[in-house]
Amino acid sequence: MIKMLVCDIDGTIYNGQTFTENLLNCIKKIKKDGIKFVIATGRTFYSANQVIAPLEVDTPVICYQGATIHDCKTGEMIFEKGLDRDLSLDILDFLRKKDIYPNIYINDELYAEKETKYVQNYSDKQLIPYRIIPDISKNDFKTLNKILVIDDDTKLIEDLTAEVKQRYGDKVYTAMSTPYFCEICAAGISKGTAVHYVADMYGIKKEEIMSCGDQNNDIELLTCAGVGVAMGNATDTLKSYADYITDTIENDGVVKAVDKFIYGVN
């Protein structure tokens, strides 16, 4: 019996503009039936909280690929594991030498060392303010939530992701959350580890979890659950890890998966 549904946001339940009426009704129904509904995203809490407001989430919110877990109402940090300062500065120096200036997240705030179209567009789209600090080492931080490289060149992102993995190995968690995003977080975190943290809070077992995602950063999200569902619009890589491939986001894939695995409707 499924007792907890965990969903990624973008490309899974949110199309960048809205949630469908079917999805909103589906979430309302499972919550009424006592099933926990949990969000697991790469977004900041500030960004995620604005987007998911119509869902009336009442469970902890997993952000930064699992690097933080927040109280849904107060935003208070329930769990946090960041990149330590020395490692962060080394990674940023490595990227700087490649003339790459990423988004830098500290205490759920967005920074960059250089004004670029990528940080500007991201800020506008995500409704997140940002600050330019030409030398981030002058910021007295102890840990970073995440480093995010954005580029229109998908080959660059793919090659960079592989290079970061090769260079830093198990010192970091690295994944492509879209073909344009290379995300770098602390080692040992993932959406999957965060899901189990939340599940333990409610005494829910792996086999009682159903999860849904669409990108390669959702691999651990799918494999941590008893039923891992890939969207019809998911990457081929993610689909290879799925227990079930549902319809696309445009066709309410999550709703159809809920009907099948929670309510037994074929």
Indicate which CATH number applies to the domain containing 117.
3.30.1240.10
Question: Which of 186, 204, 239 is the endpoint of a domain?
Answer: 186
Question: Do 213 and 250 fall into the same domain?
Answer: yes
- Token pair for residue 124? 């506008």
User: Do 163 and 221 have their domain in common?
Assistant: no
Query: In this structure, which amino acid lies at residue 165?
Result: K
Q: How far apart are CA 164 and CA 261, in angstroms?
A: 38
Same domain, 45 and 64: yes
What pLDDT is recorded for position 265?
87
Domain boundary among 186, 208, 237: 186
| 9/140 same-domain check | no
Burial profile 220-229: b = 16 or more Cβ within 10 angstroms, e = fewer: bbbebbbbbb
Tokens representing residue 9 in the block: 């946001």
DSSP assignment of 184-243 equals EEETT--HHHHHHHHHHHHT--GGGEEEEE-SGGGHHHHHTSSEEEE-TTS-HHHHTT-S
Instruction: Write out the H or E segment, with its range, that includes residue 178.
Output: strand 172-178
Element (H, E) at 105: strand 103-106
Quote the CA–CA distance of 217 and 148 in Å, as a whole number.
13
Q: Are residues 180 and 96 in the same domain?
A: yes
Asked whether residue 106 is assigned to any structural domain, the reply reads yes
Q: Are strands 83-84 and 143-144 parallel, antiparallel or unpaired?
A: antiparallel
Residue 57 shares a structural domain with residue 121: no
At 261, is the secondary structure helix, strand, or coil?
A: helix
Same domain? For 93 and 121 the reply is yes
Looking at the structure, tell me whether residues 43 and 103 fall in a common domain. no
pTM of the model: 0.93
Residue 76's domain is classified under what CATH number? 3.40.50.1000
Structural domain span for residue 221: 4-80+189-261
- DSSP-derived secondary structure for 107-174: TTEEEESS--HHHHHHHHHHT--EEE-S-GGGS--SEESEEEEE-S-HHHHHHHHHHHHHHHGGGEEE
Q: Which of 165, 186, 207 is the last residue of a domain?
A: 186
Do residues 251 and 119 both lie within one domain?
no
- Specify the number of domains making up the chain: 2
147 forms beta bridges with 104, 184
Residues 153 and 196 in one domain: no
Which residue type is seen at 45? F
Cβ pair 232, 246 in contact under 8 A: yes
pLDDT tens for each residue of the chain, 266 residues long: 999 999 999 999 999 899 999 999 999 999 999 999 999 999 999 999 999 999 999 999 999 999 999 999 899 999 999 999 999 999 999 999 999 999 999 999 999 999 999 999 999 988 889 999 999 999 999 999 999 999 999 999 999 999 999 999 999 999 999 999 999 999 999 999 999 999 999 999 999 999 999 999 999 999 999 999 999 999 999 999 999 999 999 999 999 999 999 999 87
Q: What is the rounded CA–CA span in Å between residue 186 and residue 171?
A: 7
The torsion defined by the Cα of 180, 182, 188 and 190, in degrees rounded to 10, comes to: -10
- Residue 206's pLDDT is 98
